[in-house]
Amino acid sequence: MSIGVAADRRPPTADHRRRIARLVGLAILGVAGSAGARDVAISEVEGLRAAIAAAAPGDVLLLAPGSYEIDRTLDCTRAGQATAPIVVRSSTPLGAVLRVSVQEGFRVQAAYWRFEGLEVIGTCASDDVCEHAFHLSGDADGVVLRGNRLRNFNAQVKSNGDPTGVGGRYPDDVVIEGNELYDDAARRTSNPVTKVDVVGGRRWVVRANYLHDFEKAGGDGISYGAFLKGHSAAGLFERNLVSCETRGARTGTRVGLSLGGGGSAPDTICEQGSCSPEHDGGTLRNNLILRCSDVGIYINKGAGSRILANTLYLTTGIDVRFSETSAEVRSNVTDGRIRTRDGAGLVTGLNLEDVTDGYLEGAFRAPQNGDFFPVGDLSMMLDRGEALADVTEDYCGHPRTSATNHVPDLGALELLPGPVCDTRRPPLAGGAGAGGAGAGGNPGPGDGGAAGAPDASPPMGNFPGGSGTLPVDEKRGGCSVTGAASGVPWCLTALALLRRRRR
């Protein structure tokens, strides 16, 4: 049995048809509209605020290195264009440090903005206050966040409708790529704690990000790396590194990636006025997910979900739940289990689950540190995967073919003949396989699709800071590099996680 899923199976609403017509009109006017585009040099907060208020399609707002104290939200309400986005960029990657002491740093309500190379830090005295580095809503289609470091917020990236429900407007075709999102300490709040929190919207791409060290120390104690929910559709998580914790803490209930999260209510907040399904036609592929006290992947009312070629280590596995869920789970590696609950429909292919204790530790150099360089017995994974039309590359961006018999390996990595990239940094190199989001190879926002955000500018490096891959000490058999600006060692101490079940 197999599940055939279109990229976005829902019929377009009247509102979506109007938005498509508007975007086509903006594209036609793109050349004329960007003729007066400016490069604007910025060195202080009020200059940034004024440049954002006056921004026009094609403008590049270039922030000089230094500290910018944000005590009032920066409102982005003027639209860019598909061929001429409005760009807010640090002149030196991560050199412009925005210190946010209010609920939201950037509030984006218009289409085609790009934010690149910024460090955005929440500095509120109370964790109840610093909610979002970026809050997208309404017409914020085609927004791109690339190469930023975002820390110390309850939800670094938040998106929802404005207005919501039937006839509401929700950001579509958003790309979150090559960013680092984490918290310096557990968030002491009862508010939701999820690094990428998306309610509604179509064709989101969350790619090659490093999500780590997130914990909710109040309320229900449940936190997520990222989720798409609220009747969103055709979303894609690919080539992300998710380490729920890196510091040896075993507190809180931490979940890696999810379609559906903890659910949405009431229906009036969800796209089309219904929260069922929570997500339709979503894909998770080629992700490395580790050190989560709960499941690494959770599907909650996710219709037509595809979980393909992921590697999960030190998590309780993969959960698919509730009768609204139909999920296809193929070519994954997990030392936990693949479970179905509460009437969910599950189709499994070739997976390696509930792996014998010690096998993954012997196969890879230091998986507890995110270092999946192959060093040992790979026989349980090598040439044991499935040829999947939507998985043509691996986590490193390498082709999904074997030198011997062209059978893919299980998990997020093609292991031989190599070389395997430094897995401790999600590489921006490589494409999106057969398409950006959804089945059928439909182009996603980062893949040059006509309706998606443009992807013309080169990536800023292998990871925030643009420094390329980290050096690996081959002789010593481990990593010895400290995270660029956080002071958090990239090499993590090994631990046995307390495995807890989400209620």
209: pLDDT strictly greater than 70: yes
Asked if residue 292 is part of any domain, the answer here is yes
* Contacts with 423 (C-beta within 8 Å, 6 or more apart), sequence order: 241, 288, 370, 371, 372, 373, 395, 396, 413
Tokens of 484: 């660029």
In tens, the pLDDT along 130-181 reads 999 999 999 999 999 999 999 999 999 999 999 999 999 999 999 999 999 9
Asked if residue 453 is part of any domain, the answer here is no
Asked if residue 390 is part of any domain, the answer here is yes
Asked if residue 130 is part of any domain, the answer here is no
Least confident among 43-47, 412-416, 425-429: 425-429
Q: Are 432 and 205 in contact (CB under 8 A)?
A: yes
Given this model, what pLDDT does residue 35 score?
Answer: 58
pLDDT band at 404 (very low <50, low <70, confident <90, very high): low
Q: Are 401 and 423 in contact (CB under 8 A)?
A: no
Sheet containing strand 253-259, strands side by side: 74-76, 104-108, 132-137, 157-160, 193-199, 222-229, 253-259, 297-300, 317-321, 337-341
Helix, strand, coil percentages in the chain from 3-state DSSP, rounded to 5 = 10, 30, 60
In tens, the pLDDT along 305-350 reads 999 999 999 999 999 999 999 999 999 999 999 999 999 999 999 9
Given this model, what pLDDT does residue 250 score?
Answer: 77
Q: CB-hemisphere CA count at 13 Å for 24?
A: 6
Strands (E), 241-388: 241-243, 253-259, 279-280, 283-285, 288-290, 297-300, 302-303, 305-308, 311-313, 317-321, 326-330, 333-334, 337-341, 345-348, 364-366, 371-374
Overall number of domains in the chain: 1
Per residue, the 3-state secondary structure of 143-163, as one string, reads CEEECCEEECCCCCEEEECCC
Can you give the pTM of this predicted structure?
Answer: 0.82
Residue type for position 438 = G
Given this model, what pLDDT does residue 22 score?
Answer: 56
CB environment 205-231: b (16+ within 10 A), e (fewer): bbbbbbbbbbbbbeeebbbbbbbbbbb
pLDDT band at 11 (very low <50, low <70, confident <90, very high): low
Would you call the peptide bond into 464 cis, given omega within 30 degrees of 0 as the criterion?
no
In tens, the pLDDT along 54-89 reads 999 999 999 999 999 999 999 999 999 999 999 999
Given this model, what pLDDT does residue 102 score?
Answer: 98
Q: Are 175 and 205 in contact (CB under 8 A)?
A: yes
3-state DSSP assignment of residue 356: coil
Q: Are 395 and 415 in contact (CB under 8 A)?
A: no
Asked if residue 261 is part of any domain, the answer here is yes
Per residue, the 3-state secondary structure of 113-130, as one string, reads EEEECCEEEECCCCCCCC
Asked if residue 9 is part of any domain, the answer here is no
The boundaries of the domain holding residue 357 are 154-447
453: pLDDT strictly greater than 50: no
Tokens of 401: 């073919």
Asked if residue 406 is part of any domain, the answer here is yes
Asked if residue 320 is part of any domain, the answer here is yes
Give mean pLDDT, residues 112-135. 98
